[in-house]
Amino acid sequence: MPMNSKTETDPRALVQSPQDFASQWSLIWIAFRRHRLAMTGAIIVLMLYVVAAFSEFLAPFNPNATSAADVYHPPQMIRFIDRHDDGGWSVRPHVRSLTAERDKFTLKTTYIVNPDEKIYLQFFGKGDPYRLWGVIPMDRHFLTTADPSERFYMFGADRLGRDMLSRTIYGTRISMSIGLVGVTLSLALGLILGGVSGFYGGRVDMIIQRIVELVISLPTIPIWLGMSAALPQDWSPLTRYFAITVILSLVAWTELARVVRGRFLALRTEDFVTAARLDGCSRKRVIFRHMMPSMVSHIIASVTLAIPVMIIAETSLSFLGLGLTPPIISWGVLLKEAQNVRSIAQAPWLFIPGGAVFLAVLALNFLGDGLRDAADPYAQDTHQ
Amino acid sequence: MLFLYILRRIAWSIPLLFAVSIIAFALISAPPGDYITSFAATLSESGDVVDQARLDAMRERYGLDQPFLVQYWHWISNAVQGDFGISFEWQQPVSTLIWERMSLSVTLALATLMFTWALALPIGIYSAVRKYSIGDYVVTAIGFLGLATPNFLFALVLMYIAVVYFGADVSGLFSDEYQDAPWSWAKLVDLAKHIWIPVIILGTSATASLVRIMRANLLDELHRPYVTTARAKGLSEWRLIMKYPVRIAINPFVSTIGWAFPQLISGAVITAVVLSLPTAGPLMLQALLAQDMYLAGAFILLLCCLSIIGMLVSDILLAVIDPRIRFR
């Protein structure tokens, strides 16, 4: 019966749920979206990178501008409802002005609220001129004082009267980017060495695995300290920044190399890879068309989990004075100010950059965990 | 078989130690100028006359005009015999400076490890067995907080709270009267009174990650058929869990000592600086900043050796617990 060789389509097969033809990436996205913590983490990470990208615009002042009158100025609350003396009110952001008073006996400075004076703030007001990304000349800030000669301190001021809010915002750029740059470097190292190790196997694999073992057995912080102490002191801030990044990634690549190698070895024996090979695909096509897609998601997850490690490492090194040094502003450099108990007992707001580190590391960890779960096709769906 | 495995494992750590010693020496000889240059600078700073002939003589004595490998050989062959050179900042042999501090570092790391295990094992079992209970969520939340806080930040916050709210100083490992006292029972008790703060600070992040590992491993085991079989046969829940799945899940747990120990050693450096503990960390940092390279080198070498020994111990323990490893 040649007429009827075409089998009739079962009508039930036509009723498809979206998952039936979703690509791998949309499957990951569907799984990821359900993971609430990971979504929150993703949003916070995104916001931090926006702050890092537009730090000149978002910071109210020049982070290096000092003010001798405002040493250890406490944080001020921004109020939006402005009450007038005649009993009426309007919406206008402002802070209450604080005046410094020096105790004649102990010479200790205390800040007292000055009830008559308010410092008015303005969105998109004119302030310190700057060049956005070092190119575009601008002088508008997201939120600054209406009168450019006045200053306000949402996060307080440090021992030179520098605005901690502006400094923390500028620190975001360095600290968040050092994680990204460092991870890119270690990813390159990890991909090459892990890939070679997993693909060739045998003696090459043995040698690379021994190197990985050696690097893992090193206590990271003494080695990092030793390497950064060996950097010449007269290097420019930018050179130092890259040197520190390289130092951090020299130790951090091993984890990524292990992930890449492990995935390679696991995938090599998978049925679909064997099928592709038997189908006559070239080696290049097998790797890039068939193996890569199922590795990329895992690699992205490991990379996300490696960034917070880098951020903590940079912060710790700079905190000890062996990482980035003062003309550069990073969270670690800022925390160095909070090194002794006396200064933090006097000015606890110096801890705020630590809060930023905490937030960034937590958000990146949630994001990475969510990505890892979402990327695993065998994971049971346990999240609500 | 076990004996052979241990022997093989020990043999393997010898090239590792060798590689580590080269790294340590490369690190200390990396900065421009050598130890004599810094020594001359210190001398002229303090107003002494710098005698070029004396400097050259010293250079020759320490073999600093020799090529790298010769210098390395000189350094390592003395180091094996316990002579790590001279700290030019302290004007004392390095070996007299380091041992007390190293032993305190090891004590601290071991105490932290025990604290971590004692806490992580029961909590991990609990949060796996009572998955998604309130307790599990609380533990997971605390674990995330512990992972996200850099140790030094945690130390600073604790110190701040202690100073501002309790008026107590939590830094150091000894009270003033025992600072320089010889070792005695009373000094040990004093140490025990002080050591718990750094132990908690150092232990939190390791505990957090160990709890997560234990929980994940145990969750994988709890749904295996053998568990159902045992339950069907009427074994009490407690005995069932402790006897089978926990014994398997604890396996990767033991292997974590391999990375937990180096991490504790290196994490302790920063915490010790913040809390001004008399351990290896602060002196090493000071030596590195002052380019006191023999002192710094001795610390880097010894800390690296400690990590390697930690990994060795964990591998041996693992082989004792799990017979499959011995036959690999």
pLDDT band at A382 (very low <50, low <70, confident <90, very high): very low
End-to-end CA distance of chain A: 53
pLDDT band at B116 (very low <50, low <70, confident <90, very high): confident
Euclidean distance between CA atoms B320 and B141, whole angstroms: 34
Where in chain A are the domains? 40-53+167-380, 71-158
Please judge whether A229 and B299 are an interchain contact, meaning their C-beta atoms are less than 8 angstroms apart.
Answer: no
Q: Which of A226, A322, A358 is opposite residue B300, by nearest beta carbon?
A: A226
pLDDT at A23 over 60: yes
**Mean pLDDT of all residues in B180-190:** 72
- Residue A139: what pLDDT? 76
- ipTM of this predicted complex? 0.73
In terms of average pLDDT, the best of A60-74, A118-132, B32-46, B195-209 is B195-209
Partners of A369 on chain B (C-beta within 8 Å) are none
Q: Which amino acid type is present at position A179?
A: G
A127 neighbors A148 (Cβ within 8 angstroms): yes
pLDDT at A171 over 70: yes
- Residue B323: what pLDDT? 67
pLDDT at A381 over 50: no
- Residue B241: what pLDDT? 81
pLDDT band at B34 (very low <50, low <70, confident <90, very high): low
Residue pLDDT, tens place only, B252-274: 667 666 667 777 777 788 888 88
Q: Who has greater pLDDT, A17 or B78?
A: B78
Mean pLDDT of chain B: 77
The yes or no reply on domain A40-53+167-380 and CATH 1.10.3720.10 is: yes
For a pLDDT cut of 70, what percent of chain A falls above it? 91
pLDDT at A357 over 80: yes
pLDDT at A169 over 80: yes
Residue pLDDT, tens place only, A211-247: 887 787 777 777 777 777 777 777 777 788 888 888 8
pLDDT at B321 over 80: no
pLDDT at A6 over 60: no
pLDDT at A379 over 60: no
**C-alpha atoms less than 13 angstroms from C-alpha of A144 in its C-beta half-sphere:** 22
Partners of B169 on chain A (C-beta within 8 Å) are 341
Euclidean distance between CA atoms B247 and B214, whole angstroms: 11
- Residue A384: what pLDDT? 34
Partners of A214 on chain B (C-beta within 8 Å) are 16, 19-20
pLDDT band at B36 (very low <50, low <70, confident <90, very high): low
Residue B95 CA from chain centroid, whole number? 20
Nearest to A93 by CA among A82, A108, A101: A82
End-to-end CA distance of chain B: 11
- Residue A173: what pLDDT? 87
Q: Which of B171, B270, B291 is opposite residue A316, by nearest beta carbon?
A: B270
Partners of B160 on chain A (C-beta within 8 Å) are 341, 344-345, 348, 351
Q: Which of B153, B159, B306 is opposite residue A354, by nearest beta carbon?
A: B153
pLDDT at B84 over 70: yes
B293 neighbors B254 (Cβ within 8 angstroms): no
Euclidean distance between CA atoms B173 and B278, whole angstroms: 7
B277 neighbors B104 (Cβ within 8 angstroms): yes
Q: Which residue in chain B has the smallest CA separation from A366?
A: B144
Q: Which residue in chain A has the smallest CA separation from B282?
A: A320
Euclidean distance between CA atoms A317 and A325, whole angstroms: 10
Please judge whether B284 and A218 are an interchain contact, meaning their C-beta atoms are less than 8 angstroms apart.
Answer: no
**A216 and chain B: CB distance < 8 Å anywhere?**
yes
- Residue B13: what pLDDT? 81
Which stretch of A76-80, B220-224, B239-243 has the lowest confidence by average pLDDT? Answer: A76-80
Residue B159 distance to chain A (closest CA, Å): 7
Of chain A residues 313-332, which have a CB less than 8 A from chain B? 315-316, 319-322
